[in-house]
Chain A
Amino acid sequence: MMEYHDIIIIGGGPAGLAAAISAREAGAEDILILERDERPGGILNQCIHNGFGLHTFKEELTGPEYAERFITRAKELNIPIKLKTIAADISPEREVTYVNSEEGAVTVKAGAVILAMGCRERPRGALGLPGFRPAGVFTAGTAQRLMNIEGFAVGKEVVILGSGDIGLIMARRMTLEGAKVKVVAELMPYSGGLKRNIVQCLEDYGIPLKLSHTVTCIHGKERVTGVTISEVGADRRPIPGTEEYYSCDTLLLSCGLLPENELSKSAGVVLSRVTGGPEVTDSLETTVPGVFAAGNVLHVHDLVDFVSEEAARAGRKAAEYVKGGSTPEKFVEIKTAGGVRYTVPQRISPDTMDDKITLRFRVGDILKNKTLAVYFDGEPVRRVKKRIMAPGEMEELVLTKASFAEHPDVKEILVCAED
């Protein structure tokens, strides 16, 4: 007979750990975490900078310190974690196949599965950068791992394409280690990173940020010798005549993060075309009953604090599910308009929802002096004035059960930004 666990969690990073802890605290006894790395903690292990935990612990921690608090708690609760173990397949019936060098390939059955695989960086191949294929081109996260975990220097003269947070953090990190970071080029007319990172990682060290610019040639055959950067027009195409040459031995790419959902697909989970992550209910349950998702696999977050909070809810809901809960039958879909690109969750069950549900989302452009509004079948139920919203900063709105009690027959919820 197939081995069984109440809850199997795919990934031992911040989302997986927080989900496991909260599932155990909600009464789930039999939990198993699968983690492919040699240690738990996920990406936090290489995020040695500070700024984590301000919301969760009301103090500023580094990534490893934040991770350690969750790892310690998981140990106290005796939650088993299989390290160096990769999940290879999940079936719609919640049969999870994992592989490691001691057991080989093993298939186990789960009462509930929590997807917590995180995200990946958009690689060079997905960017269509012209030029040769020399050594010295890294995604920012790879460079971060090489530098902070493996102890390599990575490069001496650096150009960064993309202004995602990891690229900004690496601009500072490499500068502190003695490298010369010459420029950060960003295709869009606004940065994809947090404002505080622009100021503390670039402005503090006099590193220029060139908005509406991109790399139009990578020079060098064995190792990068330089890059050409060009200005782009409103159509995001390079403007001839604006080419500028920068000599460098390293090009870092910080051009977006993509939720990693190959396993979700094999489980039959429906993915959102906007987030790239599963569509979920207010219980963070995907379209496959008993399969839940949280963290960057669901949608890419700016702050780990919100990953932990979201994952804790997924853990609690998964624990309720295996104790005999069922998937609710009636849902209200959330539509978006006016610059709001999506919401997570995408649907809410008014009958079973918690007293408060936080909707998280991003806008598609810089929006100034707008109002975030929620409509139930065309009737306004919530309005929040926002002086500024930016694609690089996740927004949130809270919906209460009381609003649903006042609108018992609501068919559709609309979230939008308006004047």
Chain B
Amino acid sequence: MEIRELTCIRCPMGCQLTVTIDGENVSVSGNTCPRGEDYGKNEVINPIRTVTSSIRVEGGSLKLVSVKTKGDIPKGKIFEVMEAIRSATVTAPVHTGDVLISNAAGTGIDVVATKTVEKR
């Protein structure tokens, strides 16, 4: 049995949740509404995040283009995705929505540009 302490971020209340994981059974206490229970369960069963960063651009009006994972990735994969982002370089022009890394770190999620960088 594992017990995790979390802060719910579904509203400014910020309830301190205690999530108890007992095999298949996950229970949440400390929440004051159903959204807290939902948050607590998701956070221990399948925590996911959007990662945002930037990628170096060659020949662009800016040195960097900002990027994001097009969807949420597992929290445990954040640093692997960052590694892929850090080692990438792109050539201008880049447009918002362009896929710059496909299937980043095997997550099945693409990394896309969130800014347009024209040719210098």
Contact = CB atoms under 8 A, between A and B. Distances in A.
Interface of A: 45, 48-50, 60-65, 68, 148-151, 173, 176-178, 194-196, 198-200, 203-204, 387-390, 393
Contact of B63 (A151, A176, A200): A151
A151 B64 contact: yes
Contacts of A64: 66, 96, 114-115
19 contacts: A48-B53, A48-B68, A48-B115, A50-B68, A62-B66, A63-B66, A64-B96, A64-B114, A65-B115, A149-B62, A151-B54, A151-B64, A178-B86, A199-B7, A200-B9, A203-B7, A204-B75, A388-B14, A393-B12
Nearest to B32: A387
Contacts of A50: 50, 52, 68
A65 B49 contact: no
Nearest to A169: B52
B56 A60 contact: no
Contacts of A195: 7, 9, 12, 14
A62 B68 contact: yes
Given A176-B78, A177-B82, A199-B7, 5 more contacts: A50-B52, A177-B86, A198-B7, A203-B7, A389-B12
Contacts of A203: 7
Contacts, number: 74
B83 to A, nearest CB: 10
A176 B82 contact: yes
B26 interface: no
B49 A68 contact: no
Nearest to B33: A387
B51 interface: yes
B96 A65 contact: yes
Interface of B: 6-7, 9, 12-14, 32, 49-54, 56, 62-64, 66-68, 75, 78-79, 82, 86, 96, 114-116
Given A195-B12, A393-B12, A148 B64 contact: yes
A204 B53 CA distance: 16
B85 to A, nearest CB: 9
- Please list the 3 inter-chain residue pairs (A to B) with the smallest Cβ-Cβ separation, ordered nearest first: A48-B66, A64-B115, A151-B63
B53 A151 contact: no
B117 to A, nearest CB: 10
A60 B7 contact: no
A60 to B, nearest CB: 7
A200 B47 CA distance: 11
A123 B114 CA distance: 30
Contacts of B14: 195, 388
A198 B12 CA distance: 11
A387 B13 CA distance: 7
B12 A390 contact: yes
B75 A60 contact: no
B50 A60 contact: yes
Contacts of A151: 54, 56, 63-64
A386 to B, nearest CB: 9
Contacts of B51: 176
A176 B53 contact: yes
Contacts of B32: 387
B96 A148 contact: no
A55 B79 CA distance: 30
Contact of A150 (B63, B115, B116): B63
B98 to A, nearest CB: 13
Given A48-B54, A390-B12, A68 B64 contact: no
Contacts of A49: 52
A336 to B, nearest CB: 20
Nearest to B9: A196
A204 B75 CA distance: 9
